[in-house]
Structure 1
Amino acid sequence: MTKKIDRQDWRAAVLGLGATVEEGIRNLDASHLQIALVLGERGDLVGTLTDGDIRRGLLRGVGLQDTVDGLINTDPLVVTPAVGQEAVRRMMVEHRIHE
């Protein structure tokens, strides 16, 4: 079953570059999207942050007051609205991305 995400829902999942790990955890918990979009000063997408990224960082000794900057995926898979749903599903399977 696919959950339809309202066009505004993603805005709750936005973090600024320089946010702390604690802020990242709170953002992920509040947004319920399982991913945070990390934006730069000009509002450009710098990367993404997931629970797994935070977990791996904590295991490496990153603290809650450290920034998420070193934990983010700076090369996320991004598609435009023109890409059809079936093509997106194939990409998600190919790249092992869960809904």
Structure 2
Amino acid sequence: MAIKRCISAFSVFTDGVPRVVPGGALIDDSDPVYKGRESYFEAVETGVKRDRPVETATAAPGELRQTDTPRRGRPPGSKNKPKDEEPDGGDK
């Protein structure tokens, strides 16, 4: 008796009753839903062992981090100056 995790949601009739198995559901391998549908399941240990990169919240010593994203309509480095403003800021 091993626990299996559903990797893809599906529906099936068991004993004349419709049953939906959502992705991520944990099922015992003795469950009638598991028999004949082994390709929809993986061992629980398999999901736990997946290596996923973890983003750090802070920069390491000497590492530079991007603090802002470029905004649409403004070239990077233009600060908050609108495009159509005159450089001297005076009226004619």
**TM-score of the superposed pair, with normalisation by structure 2:** 0.23
**TM-score of the superposed pair, with normalisation by structure 1:** 0.22
Q: Which has the larger radius of gyration?
A: 2
More helix by share: 1
